[in-house]
Structure 1
Amino acid sequence: MTHQYKDTFLTQSSTIIEALKIIDLAALQIVLIVNDDCKLIGTITDGDIRRAILNGVQLTDTVDKVMNTSPKTATQNDDTASLKSIMHTQQIHRLPILDEHGCVVDLACIEDFTDNAEKEHKNYADISIVLMLGGLGTRLMPLTENLPKPMIEVGGKPLLETIVTHLRDQGFKNFYFSVNYKAEIIEDYFKDGRDFGVKISYLYEDKRMGTAGALSLIPDQPKGPLIVMNGDILTNNNFAHLVDFHKQTNAMATMCVREYQQQVPYGVVRTKGTKLDTIVEKPSQTYFVNAGIYILNPTVLEHVPKDQYLDMPTLFTQLEAENYESSVFPIREYWLDIGNPQDLEKGRAEYHQIFSDKKA
């Protein structure tokens, strides 16, 4: 092992923002909260932070608001077989190793115990990406008069190319393109995906089928989960974290959400009966809105009727009504729905700050 585990150390007075920097930049993707003697107090993963965001925790709060105070650990006396067994049984990727005083002396990683065949699974060969590309892009006319919205240039290349290469670079190689309006332009550019290092199959919508109805066009039952995404979203979301989160929650379907703040432009008056209680000047309210990205277990397709219009929110509502578990995954990374000229210009202006110029 002998990983650079000390790079993951923070104290209880550290902020969640500091923890995020370690998770995002360090290969170990975990934070170990320790005291001055390196005694383990708790751990933080990406999933811990996202769950806390849903509960209203702020990124400027200290890490004690999100840390797991009872993490799974191992001792110096545990052999390799024991470490591997603990990690597989508990379905965890990282395991702090402690001495007799509870101090961190190493960090076991699941990669240490996987053979080449298992490591290949990290390419997510059983997961398919379904991109919904059939919209008319009416709000972006006249740009979309002769061009489908996903092919509009952002950052010197089609928006859709950025979506594909970002997912590919995270290990996702199997794609379905659901197309309708100006489908031939998309197909001529991407073909079978070979030039972009992926495999692309096309789902042809003869009529408008909504963001979920087109899933009925998938010819064979998928072996693993489906990540479904609208084709007008610019994001550097960590999709590997999304997959892990979905599996950990044991949900049938997971909807990505984005925090949205709405400010009241007036002083809000709060009353007690006929008496004035308080006045709050221009308060803001925080909501979580649908981010247009979903991950679905393959059995969800059994709930999508053939050849019928169905939107994704309606599908989630139906699953809930039938007592199937669904979850929400908050996107904390960059996210922009390019649905109007203002957002298009915003995406173009911010593109090179968010994405490095990687060649396909």
Structure 2
Amino acid sequence: MEIPKEIWRQAILPINATIGDAIKNLDQVAIKIVLVVDELGVLAGTISDGDVRRGLLDGLDMSSPVTSIIHRNAVVVPPELGRELVMQLMTANKIQQIPVVDDQHRIIGLHLWSEITAPPNRPNLMVIMAGGKGTRLRPHTENCPKPLLPVAGKPMLEHIIERSKAEGFNHFVLSIHYLGHMIEEYFGSGDRLGVRIDYLREESPLGTAGALGLLRPSSNDPFVVTNGDVITDIRYGELLDFHIRHGAAGTMAVRVHEWHHPFGVVQTQGVEIIGFEEKPITRSHINAGVYALDPAALNLLSNEHCDMPTLFERLQSKDLRTVAYPMHEPWLDVGRPLDLHLANSEHTEGVD
């Protein structure tokens, strides 16, 4: 179907826009495409979420021009093309949107896959690591497990479950240890939230991956793992689709972290000064605490402590593919009292 004109017009960006503008547009308009036009309204190309992520992995940043990631050979249709043919084009090209252009290639509309807003029912497990002691969050965690700490009036673990449910996940496994009985008493079997919840009960702390050694999945489907203290707008289903599309054994969501050096850097060669760099910015990818794994990864775990980076190293040592899923969505690791305050103060402004 064709979405209302006023909506697709909001997805238009000028050709001199930046990647940061494109990310903001993708988040705000929420139709998973940006339409880039020149000064005459002629469609120069399109930008998808995948185009943005590939650009970030290639070293581009928010200030890079959209022309560095634009898809210039986008599939387009004339306004007279019928709905059935449009749907066939979408299916054949595995796309969810097709711009409508006139005979001068000016954008005049957009066709949207009719089921794009209806998430599929995903049989994949959603595993949430909720066994940590939350030492840095004391005194808040002295009598309450960290995942039960309230954010905007309800436990952050409940936010994660509700967001996952909205994307089609219905079967959850919670790994619990510290004050785990409180988590189990609060969520029970999941009936109150309309989902199924099972538990992995750690007798001793097993790390961010070790508890997965207790998991006994009933299928060969890949599953998603997230830390129970990560509040984010990441699309868990899109992470899973990315994992499957790349044929990976392990996928790690990563974020670009910028560190501003507080001093001017002097570049030397021996005793010779060869250059200067005033307060440079270092960019690196950090682990965001959200993953997709194939069940084969469980064969590399036993009932022992293991962190997720170690599991990924084990996968690599077996020549199994591990990939990075670059994310730009709002994200917060609630590890300190200041983070908890920030999560509560900014929750309604982005992270939900």
Please report the TM-score for the alignment, with normalisation by the length of structure 2: 0.87
How much does 1:191 deviate?
0.9
Secondary structure of 1:256's aligned partner: strand
Corresponding position of 1:354: 350
Q: Is residue 216 of structure 1 aligned with residue 213 of structure 2?
A: yes
Corresponding position of 2:283: 286
Question: In 2, are the aligned partners of 1:30 and 1:43 still within 8 Å (CA)?
Answer: yes
Q: Is residue 13 of structure 1 aligned with residue 16 of structure 2?
A: yes
Taking only the aligned residue pairs, the percentage that are identical comes to 35
Residue type of the alignment partner of 2:184: E
Corresponding position of 1:22: 25
How much does 1:259 deviate?
1.9
Which deviations, in whole Å up to 9, do the C-alpha atoms of 1:193-213 show, x marking residues without a partner?
Answer: 121232211112223322222
Counterpart mapping for 1:167-246 below 5 A: 167-222=164-219, 224-246=221-243
Question: In 1, are the aligned partners of 2:331 and 2:351 still within 8 Å (CA)?
Answer: no
How much does 1:293 deviate?
0.6
Secondary structure of 1:336's aligned partner: strand
CA distance in 1 between counterparts of 2:254 and 2:112 reads 30
How much does 1:2 deviate?
2.5
Counterpart mapping for 1:286-325 below 5 A: 286-301=283-298, 303-325=299-321
How much does 1:186 deviate?
0.2
How much does 1:273 deviate?
3.8
Instruction: Tell me whether 80-89 or 268-277 shows the greater mean CA deviation.
Output: 80-89
Match of 2:69 among 61, 66, 70: 66
Corresponding position of 1:2: 2
Distance 1:45-1:74 versus aligned 2 partners, 3 A rule: same
Aligned-CA RMSD value: 2.7
Distance 1:322-1:188 versus aligned 2 partners, 3 A rule: same
Match of 1:51 among 25, 50, 54: 54
Instruction: Tell me whether 151-160 or 180-189 shows the greater mean CA deviation.
Output: 151-160
CA distance in 2 between counterparts of 1:225 and 1:143 reads 35
Question: In 2, are the aligned partners of 1:126 and 1:223 still within 8 Å (CA)?
Answer: no
Unaligned runs of 5+ in 1: none
How much does 1:319 deviate?
1.9
Question: In 2, are the aligned partners of 1:46 and 1:241 still within 8 Å (CA)?
Answer: no
Match of 2:341 among 320, 326, 345: 345
Question: In 2, are the aligned partners of 1:154 and 1:351 still within 8 Å (CA)?
Answer: yes
Question: In 2, are the aligned partners of 1:133 and 1:177 still within 8 Å (CA)?
Answer: yes
CA distance in 2 between counterparts of 1:261 and 1:50 reads 17
How much does 1:161 deviate?
1.9
How much does 1:228 deviate?
0.4
Question: In 1, are the aligned partners of 2:212 and 2:301 still within 8 Å (CA)?
Answer: no
CA distance in 1 between counterparts of 2:88 and 2:18 reads 33
Residue type of the alignment partner of 1:46: D
CA distance in 2 between counterparts of 1:24 and 1:313 reads 29
Distance 1:285-1:36 versus aligned 2 partners, 3 A rule: closer
Corresponding position of 1:331: 327
Instruction: Tell me whether 127-136 or 145-154 shows the greater mean CA deviation.
Output: 145-154
CA distance in 2 between counterparts of 1:248 and 1:41 reads 27
CA distance in 2 between counterparts of 1:212 and 1:243 reads 18
Distance 1:176-1:324 versus aligned 2 partners, 3 A rule: same
Residue type of the alignment partner of 2:344: R
Residue type of the alignment partner of 1:262: W
Please report the TM-score for the alignment, with normalisation by the length of structure 1: 0.85
CA distance in 1 between counterparts of 2:290 and 2:102 reads 43
How much does 1:315 deviate?
1.7
Which deviations, in whole Å up to 9, do the C-alpha atoms of 1:235-257 show, x marking residues without a partner?
Answer: 22233442343344333321011
CA distance in 1 between counterparts of 2:315 and 2:33 reads 33
CA distance in 1 between counterparts of 2:202 and 2:263 reads 46
Secondary structure of 2:114's aligned partner: helix
Q: How many residues align?
A: 349
Which deviations, in whole Å up to 9, do the C-alpha atoms of 1:133-171 show, x marking residues without a partner?
Answer: 111222223332322111123333222122222322333
CA distance in 2 between counterparts of 1:217 and 1:18 reads 44
CA distance in 1 between counterparts of 2:261 and 2:12 reads 41
Instruction: Tell me whether 152-161 or 175-184 shows the greater mean CA deviation.
Output: 152-161
CA distance in 2 between counterparts of 1:224 and 1:41 reads 39
CA distance in 1 between counterparts of 2:76 and 2:295 reads 34
Residue type of the alignment partner of 1:24: D
Residue type of the alignment partner of 2:343: G
Residue type of the alignment partner of 2:169: F
Residue type of the alignment partner of 1:156: G
Q: Is residue 129 of structure 1 aligned with residue 126 of structure 2?
A: yes
How much does 1:338 deviate?
1.7
Corresponding position of 1:39: 42
Secondary structure of 2:2's aligned partner: coil
CA distance in 1 between counterparts of 2:152 and 2:163 reads 13
Instruction: Tell me whether 170-179 or 239-248 shows the greater mean CA deviation.
Output: 239-248
Unaligned runs of 5+ in 2: none
CA distance in 2 between counterparts of 1:8 and 1:43 reads 10
